[in-house]
Amino acid sequence: MKQAVLIMVDTQRKDMVGCYPGAMADTPNLKQLAAEGVAFTKAYTCSPVCGPARSAIFTGLFPSANGVIANGMPLGKTVKNAGEWLSAHGIVCGYIGKWHLDGGDYFGYGKCPEGYHPDYWFDMKNYLDSLADDAAKKRSRVNMAMRNDDPKEEDTYAHRCCDRVLAFLDEFADKDFFLTLSLDEPHDPSVCPRRFIDALNKKNFKIRRYPNYKAPLKCKPASHQVWSKKYGNIPFAAYSYVQKAFFACNEFCDYEIGRVLDKIRGLGISPMIIYTADHGDMMLSHRLVGKGCVMYNEITNVPLIVAGECVGDAERPVSHIDLLPTVMRYFGVSVPKVLHGKPLQEKSAPPHDIFMEYTRYEVDHDGFMGYQPVRCICDGRYKLVINLLTSDEFYDLEADPYEMENRLLDPACRKARDELHDRLLEHMNDTRDVYRGYYWRCRPWRKGKKPSFDDTGMTRQPEEEDYVQLDYATGLPMEKAVRKK
């Protein structure tokens, strides 16, 4: 019997999980889970915004290939989710919590997608529908920092999701299953019982002021400077007060997750457990707040814990794109060639390249600077960021962990920079990035790169295994997925 549980929260930095050095939070249940498994220190999201980040986790494809390049956009009609892949092999798949991949508003349509057990589907629209009246719905959206009441634990989204998880575990404890618990918390409005804020007050909690708070932006892209004008003058003390609710809700998430972990132990089952967050939060580092069109570690380097399966070295760079292949390998399901990641169970030699992308924040919103195409590669030490509409970035993370010195034009970094650039371009080709083209290659700092009508001259078909692809020129089955046109 094989069982796996994926637990995810929305908006959590690595320093908000107690198992990581220098953490600002306790999270005892996650700390215990990490002690039983592996807590990766260099785990990265595929995109630092909710919908695109989730799309990569649950399809095994980068957002530029699965259709969710921004919030408010649905998965492509031919794109399979994890439930579809696994349920085809007799594995019961449950998804309880935030989905954000159906193209609806923030709360979704409330409809269970293919592959998942409909009796346990519970996205945010279902949650709102479960509340008593319109007044209760409105209260559920009031930020905890602005409230004077004490929300009931049983009225929160996290608690109601976890209640359903407990019921799922009871029903399928003797079956093969893949269960996802996806909390909206601690994302604002960060609603939680008042006792979690009271506990932080007793500790005189304050968020940490990192060295890159108020960091100079002179050598940074114009998009960073525009963003910083919106938030860069917020007083740190005032911001820290508001964030207290965020961190209180973070501890509430750990409490609710503890209920799930206790249930698993009580049932005597031993599933593989994966824990992560979709992305982090800038929290005034680099004079920025929230998430968006940057690739700083504050929002891209996420917590990732894996227990119950041998997944190797905690220090090697890994990506969310590898999670679905990892689950498939665990269940003994062949990993389709069309997926972009590799199982974490596989050992591979360096470089361990991580790729990230950003296109826009939300399709239904004109803010957040609109269309801002960004592509990034990080090998664990160096990070290259191509900001297509403005200037680019290159960081040495060993010498400069807070990413304050943009060394893009430093002659000492030219070789490493150009090598990463070449591998990034190769990745964009390999994954059929819909936005690929010569403009990513022809950057002002990259000598010898020229525009080309033919670009690489290659045609690239996905290696689909569900149907036979036919060659445009012959009408016969294709023999090679990648070839000269």
Q: Return the active site residues.
A: 50, 100
- For residue 26 the two structure tokens come to 């306790």
Question: Letter for the amino acid at 154?
Answer: E
Whether the link from the prior residue into 343 is cis, omega within 30° of 0, is no
Q: Are 310 and 320 in contact (CB under 8 A)?
A: no
Whole-number Å distance between alpha carbons of 123 and 96? 7
Q: Are 327 and 343 in contact (CB under 8 A)?
A: no
- The count of other CB atoms within 10 Å of the CB of residue 322 is 26
Whole-number Å distance between alpha carbons of 15 and 303? 8
